[in-house]
Chains A and B, each alone.
Chain A
Amino acid sequence: MTTATLTHPVAVGANVEALFLTLAHRWKEERGPSSSTTEIAMCPSYQRIIGLGPAAIPLILRELEREPDHWFWALKAITGEDPVPADSRGKVREMARLWVEWGRQQGYSW
């Protein structure tokens, strides 16, 4: 399978941002008390955020910087990248920091 790698920032329209914020809020309700990373990522609103594609990247990174949470599956799915080394998997704060750094290196701003 070929995975596209993003190399350029993507402009985010106000309507995409509003949709993202709505979906992110719904996602936190849908996930409930689940501990399953898979279940959390399969929530309908999370899947719709992945479906927003590259436009969601700076919005996710902004959320990660504000409050580390389980956005890593979505970022991997959208970008095909993973800046997190194996020994940092599961360390949510460290993963958030690494993804935010990755975003800045790629030229994203938020």
Chain B
Amino acid sequence: MLIEGYFPNLVATGYAVTSPPTAVYNCIAWAAGVTNDWWWPDPMGVSFWPAGIRREETVAAFVEAFQALGYVPCADDQPGPGFEKVALYARAGVPKHAARQLPNGRWTSKLGELEDVEHTLDGLAGSWYGSVVQVLKRPWTAP
């Protein structure tokens, strides 16, 4: 299925594919700046999850994971000088996705095992990822 089939909002909001597909890393790792791990607090214990962070699929646990990387919750999704932001999506209170803001104000996401895309936050809202429930920011760190 085409990406727009999963995320129909992308047709109107626009997007760009920025990588080939891979099952090696996922959206949480990508938002954290990592491209060699699959991050998820799965109960089977097969995926990476930061040490010391509760291994549960709650928004609070995902916020804690990003807080461990220096992020703090913030109120808006607008770009600001000196800060980088991540946005957590959830559906029915269960985390489904994270996106990271680019310096140009748009967002970058890894779509499961599919490609990385550059997009708006609304572009990925819908039945798969739900909607943005929390934005976090930290001082900009050089790549």
Q: Which residues of A contact B (CB under 8 A)?
A: 28-29, 31-38, 40-41, 67-70, 72-73, 76-77, 82, 84, 89-93, 95
Q: Which 9 pairs show the lowest CB-CB distances between chains A and B?
A: A90-B48, A37-B42, A35-B26, A33-B111, A37-B40, A33-B112, A72-B46, A90-B37, A35-B27
A38, A82, A91, A92: which has the most chain B beta carbons within 10 Å? A92
- The answer to the question of B76 belonging to the interface, with a C-beta cut-off of 8 Å to chain A, is no
Is B83 part of the contact surface with A, judged by Cβ < 8 Å?
no
**Chain A: minimal CB distance from B8 (Å):** 13
Residues of B within 8 A of A (CB): 1, 3, 6-7, 23-29, 36-40, 42-49, 57, 95-97, 110-114, 128-129
Q: What is the CA–CA distance of A95 and B48 in the complex, to the nearest angstrom?
A: 11
- Structural contact, B47 and A90, CB atoms closer than 8 A: yes
A69 near B6 with CB under 8 A, answer no
Between A and B, how many residue pairs show CB distances below 8 Å? Answer: 91
Are the C-beta atoms of B39 and A36 separated by less than 8 Å?
A: no
Enumerate chain B residues within 8 angstroms of A67, measured Cβ to Cβ. Answer: 23
Known: A31-B112, A91-B48. A70 touches B37 (CB 8 A): no
What A residues does B23 contact at CB under 8 A? 67-70, 92
**Distance, CA A90 to CA B110, complexed state (A):** 15
Closest B residue by C-beta to A32 = B6
A73-B46, A76-B46, A90-B47 are contacts. A36–B40 as well, Cβ < 8 Å?
A: yes
Chain B min CB distance to A72 (Å):
4
Q: Chain B: which residue is nearest A84 at the CB level?
A: B46
The docked-state distance in angstroms from the alpha carbon of A23 to that of B4 is: 24
CB atoms of A37 and B97 under 8 A apart: no
Asked if B28 and A35 make an inter-chain contact with CB atoms under 8 angstroms apart, the answer reads yes
CA distance A7 to B28 in the complex (A): 37
Taken together as a complex, chains A and B put the C-alpha atoms of A37 and B37 apart, in Å, by 12
Q: Which residues of B contact A70 (CB under 8 A)?
A: 23, 38, 46, 113
Residues of A within 8 A of B129 (CB): 33
Across the interface, which residues of B come within 8 angstroms of A82, CB to CB?
45
Question: How many angstroms from the CA of A41 to the CA of B110 in the assembled complex?
Answer: 19
